[in-house]
Structure 1
Amino acid sequence: MFWNKGAERIYGWTAEEAAGRSLRELLYGDDYNSNLRAYVAAVVATGEWSGEIAQRRRDGSCITVDARCSLMRDVDGSPRSILSINSDITARLAVEEQLRQAQKLEAIGQLTGGLAHDFNNLLTVILGNAEVLVDRLSDDKNLRRLAEMSWAAAQRGAELVHRLLAFARRQALEPQVVDLNSLLNGLDALLRRTISQDIEIEFLQPADLWKALVDPAQLETAILNLCINARDAMPCGGRLTIETANISLDEHFADWKADAASGQYVMMTISDTGTGMEPNVLARAFEPFFTTKEAGKGSGLGLSMVFGFAKQSNGHVKIHSRPGEGTTIKMYLPRAAQADKEITSSPSRSKLPRGSETILLVDDNELVRTYAATQLASLGYKLVSASSGQEALDTLREITDIDLLFTDVVMPGRLSGLHLAEEARIIRPNLPILFTSGYADNAQGDLGFGIHFLRKPYRPSELAVKVRLMLDGNA
């Protein structure tokens, strides 16, 4: 009977077009019985009704409206018409859903981080002891095989924890100055073994590429994830192109969203000639646990891990794909300002560096503390242990000949590892400090460039090499 300007704006029908037509024809179509009749019956029975209703516009698109309905009566009290005041809440519901998703991911991230902190402590002990057993049981093949199985299973667990932390942006990163061309050249053989022989791999690398400030180990994992996805998108063969370039983004760069920062980046582009993605798949490509692969063929954490790693590294990721035209993913990594440093490889356990210095070991987990103390003592070091930041600080005031502070980052109480380091610098300004953690808690501060860090779970060889580098002043 009546159709105002607001209804014209919401639904697309003019008042002249809508007048005299049925609501079923205008707004409901096949959903007439499940939507219109339900609330009409409620209005007639009670005199009023309010709630959310699914409707459609003139162009066929679906909307949700917040409807407030009142029954209009004749002078004799009999029902005459229904006055319905509708508000389009489609956009609001979409924003609320995005907020719920963000809150859900944040909750998953907090849960993942808490579990990962404990799991990485346990895996540090399991991996380290399993590696020691593998070395010491060289004469007993049966027992050595069991130790190797334990090590392999724990390593897979550690990789899963790292993937979960990556998409939650809570993995502990150790950014270094990295030559991306050299890193890719080092991965060349591994990529060619991983990618099918019917897929051609091409590298395009400029000679004047800038250095990037990024965690090299996690970058390698991200590259492998992207290349494996590209391989799976080319079941009948094709071409995989990996290209590097220098790029400067200004604040007016049109292709970027508001969360992208201007600046200088090292860009890596990975392109394939595969099947490409439909728009609905592309829109969800970076969602955790979303995958188009068969059950058991993928976890859905690959691209979300890459996205989380890039954002946590102060970089960005863009993806472009069309069905039948392949997929291109661009990863932008921040340019490094510092000079490059030589990366020292880890020696075999039989040649682990030893020492006789005194190390203050701080970890609230007794198993990890005992394990690390045992490993370091076996290399000749003298150990002083503390289970909290405050205990470690008291120890530093009492013992003056400590040569290295080796502390966990995430610890309960007033003094986290980073806060302990700040207090320790006041007492001993030149004291070398080595941090360890399996979880980056935002409340603990950023582990940025210049922070010496050992990621949990760590192997005995990694612990030995890192400690010796710190003590020798070469870290």
Structure 2
Amino acid sequence: MTAKPLQISLGLLNALQVAIAAAAGFAAAVLIVVPAARPGPAASPQEMVGSASRAYVAALAARLRQTVVDARSAALMLRDDEGLLSADQRAARLRGWLDLNPVYRDAVLVAPDGTVLAARDERRVGSSVARQTWFLRGRAAGVIVVSDGAEADSPFGTAVALGERGQDGLLRLDADPSYLTKVEEEVRRAAALPDTLGFLVATPDSRVLSGAPSPFRTTAVSATTPMRLAAEIGSPGWLVTAQAVPSGASLAASPDWRMLGVGLALILCAAALGFVAGERLTRPLRRLLRGEGETAGETEAPRTWIGEFAALSDVFAGHRRSAGLQMAGAGSEVARLKARLTTFEAVSGWACCEIDPDTGRTLLDSRSAAGDDGAPVAAPFAACFVAEDRPVLDRARDAALAADGPHDVTLHLRDWPEQQVQVRLLCLADARGDRRLFALMRKLPGGEGATLPQPVEPRRNLVLRRVTDGIVHEFNDVLTVVLTNLTLLARRHTLGDDQERLVGRATAGARRGAALTRRMLHLVRGDETGITLAETDLATTFEGYLPFLAANALGEMPVLNRIPAGLPPVLCSERVLELLLLNLAFHIRDAGLAGFAIAAVEGTPEDMGAAAEVAAYVRVLVSSGRRPEAAPLPTAAGPTLAAAAALVTETGGHWRLIRDGTGAEPFLAEFWLPAAPPAVATLPPIRAAGLKILLVESDGLVRASVAEVLADLGHAVVQAASGAHALEILARDAAFDAMIVDQSMPVMAGLQLAATVVERYPQIRVILASPHGQLPRSADAFLRIDKPFRNEDLQVVLDAAVRARAA
């Protein structure tokens, strides 16, 4: 149902126009005529405003230095090296000191470990502030001014380190709102400033600490001076603005309500007069439009041609709107049909289209080209095939129109003559009984090198890969949450033997889950992706692959695993390593041997020495148990050992077969695989000062877990939920040392955000987080970390970011 257009009478329209004109005239009189006629001094000179701003900055800097002295004197009063003061006595001294210094709202004495020793609010005593940013900054800097994390009723706070930085505790003083008011009073008394000049103190993030913006922003004279303090305190980055109101108006002056009342009455009177005049002017037109008589005695007057014309115009407008809605609905229905056809092609492997039974042109398919007017171009269906096959297609179309059931023909594509395509024609009747002809097409095997313009089978594989990538990403996010929180649990709490064993099992299970996701990627992607999977953890890969070996090769055979943790990664893909282990397991099983044992150690082949191709190797030793007495001896070693040796050689390693297991002795072989340089991370103390990091992650659970890990490592973290959110944060404050960004984010991917950040903020080191092997080669320019990762892995890549930034 079409809604009727909004109708406004000419009287109301005229009243609105007159009211707007009256309001504009009144505003001009108030802003131009009244100030010009009012006597008073001229606006304050720019020099006076600038000197007043600088004087305020100097007074505030002196007061902040006095605050540091007050903090240290208060700390000396509260200090109790002999342990003679009780908590109540210390609290009483603190309250007495605050009563003597009313410019401070609160004082908090904090121990070196972050425990609150004394505060005005006794409920805060015993709590910990070790995780708060101001405490970490105060321990590192010695003296800081806190304005971003101050209380709601306190404009700012000052934290002073007692004794050596990072060793002794802190004392924080929260200023009272009267702190800045008294500074302003001192400046006014010293410089004899007029009431028309006011001050505004704001932080770099535009938070107002004192004062209020001038209501005369466009005409006021102002000057802004940044805060500069001694090197001991450090500049808080505040901006002090002195602003003088023109024409002698006071900053605290209230508006003239009588003048506003007069103006409102004037506007209402003008609107009423405009409405009356408009109604009088439009009354004859309304009578003419309705066909009313000129005299009051006429009871029924004939309708005029004006009324009939208006009625016909309404009818035509309604038809035009209905036609537009019908065309829009038809367009959306065509779009839905094309989407369904695309889905059908991806799932079934058949391309579908509709053919006009009379002209033989294509009416609708998923790839219809659009003409200049936006309508799809109906191309002849037979034009897709070679000329020799078109008569066969015409006969099949006539047969399909004449009889029910599908009719199949094999044709050759015009652009790919060597490629054969199966075409199935089917004629169906719609609800109205009209005959509609449909064609289904699919590629037939044969024709080497021949491909369709949009092959269906690779598209289906692409859909499978995308679904698999999404599942792997979500599963690795869950494993990241599990691993990081288990590490934090073991780091922050002292675990018993049972608890430590359970945490270790859970961590090993998460690492096995990561190996399973990588194996799923190898299975779906095959060898066509070109993704470099160079470094592989030997212990994790064997532990994750062991269930597959037991189920498909070793059976009930006992397995002995002596691969220690902490070995450097080997320079080969997981797929090559799994094939190598599988061939060795098949050889031991086929030889009738009992048991499978594997051990590894870092080392270099003895016969290589200085001629080794790489600096480090991992030596792997694989052996079996003895053959049961009743088992027969095998006749030959089989091709599995040759395949294992070839795989080791391809990776750049060295193979040595000691005993092949075909005789009375058990199997024994050793091989050396090239190893990557190990990256060892030493976790810093919990409260160590670190980097300022921007964390960009769309998953809230993963973002919270990683942020907790970074804070535990001693870094300051700012979180962003998307690429656009991260760019907004960087536009306000770009002082970040590093940015950790997830690759698989909606709208703006991690690689796209990384390229933008490097272009705009080259000083920020970018770290891309993604499951192993999912990043393209274009990501080699950035630091990378594989999901799921441990806390140690995160610290390693952050150390690399610091070294790269220093270089």
TM bracket (short chain): 0.3 to 0.5
- Higher-RCO chain (CA-CA 8 Å, sequence separation at least 6): 1
Please, what TM-score do these two structures have when normalized by structure 1? 0.48
